[in-house]
Amino acid sequence: MNDEALLRYSRQIMLEQIDIDGQERLLAGHALVIGAGGLGSPVSLYLAAAGLGRLTLADDDAVELSNLQRQIAHGMADLGRHKAESAREAALAVNPDCDVRAVTERLEDDVLAAAVAKADVVLDCTDRFESRYAINAACREAWVPLVSGAAIRFSGQLAVFDPRNPESPCYACLYPPGEGGDEELRCAENGVVAPLVGLIGCFQALEALKLVSGAGRLHQGLSTFDGLTGQWRHFRVPRDPACPVCGG
């Protein structure tokens, strides 16, 4: 790191859990962020600010006026633009030294698998079960940790799935395929309070930062947040031996 980088990241470097070595790992790290909306906005901005060396932002959607209530990486001038491009520009405005790449196509099948395999950590910031199951399967196949977040109405949740840990469950252990897929809740149909996505997205960014830098201990189980009461709850999530993705 040069003197400018040492000054930029000095408040993290002075933390003994990160120090120079951890910051160097961050600068060499690569995060794949799938979804550049409500969750993906704070994720991309904070990871860029913290010095994650490379970010790949994937989203095939375009910015709409109704997004601006909560998707803070986008503004009025971005209406109609690809969210991935808009979020890339916002992240570079925070930290021009970060290598930020935008993917404006939906990641599926072999393309998804290839993108996941190149990352050190994947952050699922999508809002569809179909996408979450596909991302989970790709992460299990490539042995890449997955940080999963969700937010709807006044409720949020976060879980970290690490296939390198033999005791870690996967997303399909938590939500078995075929159980509730027809009842999924999405912001477009059910609404979401604006700061909630920021809270959960920041939680995702923190776990990714810890994972890449080596600081602390990764989040275990499932955490849920009730925005109406301000209460967090934590649940143990055992690995399901009958899971169609990671069982056996």
Q: In whole angstroms, what is the distance from residue 104 CA to residue 233 CA?
A: 36
170 a catalytic residue = no
The structure tokens listed for 30 are 């690569």
| CB neighbour burial string for 133-152, b if at least 16 within 10 angstroms, e if fewer | bbbbbbbbebebbbbbbbbb
Question: Please, is 80 exposed, middle or buried when counting C-beta atoms within 10 Å of its C-beta (0-12, 13-18, 19+)?
Answer: exposed
Q: What are the φ and ψ backbone dihedral angles of 109, each rounded to 5 degrees? A: 50, -125
Task: DSSP letter for 227, please.
Answer: T
Catalytic residue among 125, 139, 187, 243: 187
Give the residue numbers marked as catalytic: 187
